[in-house]
Structure 1
Amino acid sequence: MQVGEIGPSRVMIVTEPVGQQRPARMATWVMTRLTSPEYTAIQLTRFQAATGLAMAGILAALVLTANLGRNLRRERRQREQLHEELRRAEHLAALGKLLAGVAHEVRNPLAAIRSTAQLFQRLPPSARDPSMLDPILQSVDRLNALVSRLLFFVRTGHEERRPVDVNAIVQETLALLRAQADSQHVVLQTELAPDLPMLFGSASALQQVVLNLATNALQAMPGGGTLLCRTRRLEGPPRLELTIADTGPGIAADELPHLFEPFHTTRQEGTGLGLALCREIVQQHGGCIELDHQQGWGAVFRVTLPLSC
């Protein structure tokens, strides 16, 4: 048997032929791969170096991940803080606008009360007529209505919620307005869905929405017309739709951007809180209110409320 080296990490073993006959009946050779101690040390050193680099990479990744997490949390807190500051700024701006509107609406009746009272005082007792005080009573009634609407506006969202029959609310509200409609020769029409499900909400608040929209519709038709109230169920996701339409002149295009702003009104006797209150109530119920346009109708208000709220 002969052994010979054929490389730094291999040796070759060759056996002699078996037997005396030539050629030999059987001859075998075996090639065995061996590893020298020097090569093993080199490979071990390389493995240790690679392992060290891998561990260092893992450690660096963990550090970077921790830093990234801290940065994300800090940015989220900053974003929430900015959002809160923006919300406060918007709230203060809305509050300032609301207070300015309140001051304007209160000042006019107070001026009428003051001027009427001064005029009444200057007249001799014989010329004083109790009917001269009617403007004072009218101004007081207007102030009372303004305060009532403001209180309802502030309390919106805090009413007791329970299952509500919207069809019943529409019928009750139209019954309250029937005498005014008859005096104006306005026809009241209803298209109420018979299978309308119950809506979880505030009955008094939703009735205020119907009352404000229907009252606005009547005021837009002093010479007669038609007022339509329609309810139906919408699918995907399940919603309830209430439509109140009139055959009045409609709403001018330049009024649309300010339609739901508080104290914005086109009528001298209006307070400008009706539509703003309607939007606030509808939004508190998770819904939306919008002005639609349909052929043959004037102003068409569509209120959509989710049935799952």
Structure 2
Amino acid sequence: MNTPGSAVRHNLRQLTTIRYIVLGAFAMALIGLAAGFPGQPMPIALLGLLALFVALNLWTRHRTRLARPISEIEFFGHLLIDIGGLSLLLYFTGGATNPLVSYFLVPVSIAAATLTRGPSWAVTGIAFLCYSLLLIWYRPVPALLPAAEHAHVNLHVLGMWANFAVSAGLISYFLLNMAAELRRQQQDLARRREEQLRDEQLLSVATLAAGAAHELGTPLNTMKLLVDGAREDCQGLSNSELHTLSRQLDRCRDTLRKLVHAGDLRHSKPAAHEVRSYLRALVASWQVTRPDADPRLDLAPGGPTLVAEFHPTLAPAIQNLLDNAADASAEVHIDARWDHDRLELDIRDFGPGFRRPRGDPTPQLGRSSKPEGLGLGLFLSHATIERCGGTVTLTPAPGGGTLTRILLPLTEAVHETQISGDR
């Protein structure tokens, strides 16, 4: 799997190969000048620079083999070294009159394709500055001078300079946009892979749930009959205990019915509900199944009166999050705020708090803060709400406990004036 660090290492390795090519081109050019102009002295500093860059490149190649990570800043520094070294080499070989001055475009292109926007434009600006200085300060090479040199800068050289400025700007602009688009596509691809994996997990859970519902149906019905018979005989357990056991069995059977019809529910269409009525009914139906809980529902008084569309799978998903809160503490605070575009629902418990491993932004199967839990409920609630365009975040609440925040987009079905009979 490619990581940002491995990509930078690969880019630096490619840069060393490019350096060898450029150093070879300079060496061949110097050999050609020495052969064509035997009387032309060869600067010792130039030969020393070539030797220094060969040594630097050997060290850089060795650096790419080390286990220590290579950062983008380090790669940025290597590009600046290349620009500085090229400027020194060109200073001794004709400056801007040297045809190899166009090589400045190479580090500019590499920076635009591999670095972020800030460092890339820095490389472009420094390369342009070095090119501009080479128009004024350089050691002339007679073979590169025009036949009739004027006192002012040659128009051909100025044209090369202007061409470099335009080319460098265009390359940086277009390659930066292309690189940004490529990174965005890679992020989208990674997100789709995560969604596909989650969908596969959901399908597996749904298949197992349907099978478990059918397998558990018969033993639950048998237990229900035995409890009803024991209530008539009033033997063993007290009548209140049998009544509680009967209610729990009824709850199990209701849950299994929901599992059996989960597939039909998933394919059903959103239904229109008045927001306040929907939230009150949701909490009321949940409290029937959790008589031990003590919920406090606060609806924002300033919220608009509107009818919005709610998918049928949303209620079980939110109630499952309420179950998690009630498992942590009997006291549960539910605060709801909304406008015409979004519903914000906060569920606050006063338990020990929710712990999640660092760097793990979403719930996963097999991970739960409960010793006996599998993380299934939170995983399914998160997936359901996300499919409806919403988000779920769990954060430590001030003073202890967990704050579960649900953000849902609202699609208004009927305007306020049309719902007077829905209250």
**Structure 2 partner of 1:242:** 345
* Long gaps (5+) in structure 1: 1-43, 117-127
The Cα of 1:299 is off from its aligned counterpart by 4.8
CA–CA distance in structure 1, aligned partners of residues 337 and 195 of structure 2: 35
Structure 1 counterpart of 2:297, from 187, 190, 193? 190
**Structure 2 partner of 1:169:** 278
AA aligned opposite 1:302: R
Deviations 1:266-308 (A, max 9, x none): 598999245632564268445543243354x755423356899
Contact 1:263 1:272 in 2 (8 A): yes
Quick check: 1:146 aligned with 2:253?
Answer: no
CA–CA distance in structure 2, aligned partners of residues 218 and 87 of structure 1: 32
**Structure 1 partner of 2:161:** 57
Deviations 1:192-239 (A, max 9, x none): 321124689633466455433334445666xxx4343223579xxx98
Quick check: 1:211 aligned with 2:319?
Answer: yes
Structure 2 counterpart of 1:261, from 354, 364, 375? 364
Q: Which has the higher helix share?
A: 2
Structure 2 counterpart of 1:302, from 388, 402, 405? 405
Indicate the SS of the match to 1:46: coil
Q: Highest Rg: 1 or 2?
A: 1
* Long gaps (5+) in structure 2: 1-147, 227-249, 413-423
Deviations 1:64-118 (A, max 9, x none): 44444554455345434433442343234333433444455455446557x97xx
Contact 1:230 1:242 in 2 (8 A): yes
- The share of aligned pairs that are identical, in percent, is 17
After TM superposition, the runs of 4+ consecutive aligned structure 1 residues lying more than 6 A away are 137-141, 254-259, 267-271, 306-309
CA–CA distance in structure 1, aligned partners of residues 403 and 345 of structure 2: 10
Deviations 1:130-175 (A, max 9, x none): 959xxxx9999656533655666688xx858x8x754333222233
Worse overlay, 79-88 or 137-146:
137-146
Alpha-carbon spacing, 1:138–1:80, altered in 2? closer, same or farther (3 Å): same
CA–CA distance in structure 2, aligned partners of residues 91 and 57 of structure 1: 51
AA aligned opposite 1:228: H
CA–CA distance in structure 2, aligned partners of residues 219 and 168 of structure 1: 25
CA–CA distance in structure 1, aligned partners of residues 356 and 187 of structure 2: 32
Indicate the SS of the match to 1:59: helix
Worse overlay, 209-218 or 265-274:
265-274
Indicate the SS of the match to 1:194: coil
**Structure 2 partner of 1:10:** none
CA–CA distance in structure 2, aligned partners of residues 112 and 185 of structure 1: 25
**Structure 2 partner of 1:26:** none
Structure 2 counterpart of 1:226, from 331, 343, 366? 331
Q: Which one scores higher on RCO, CA 8 angstroms, separation ≥ 6?
A: 1
Q: TM-score, normalised by structure 2?
A: 0.40
Contact 1:243 1:303 in 2 (8 A): yes
After superposition, the CA RMSD in angstroms is 5.3
AA aligned opposite 2:405: R
Indicate the SS of the match to 2:301: coil
Q: TM-score, normalised by structure 1?
A: 0.51
Indicate the SS of the match to 1:90: helix
Contact 2:298 2:336 in 1 (8 A): yes
The count of corresponding residues between Structure 1 and Structure 2 is: 236
Contact 2:342 2:409 in 1 (8 A): yes
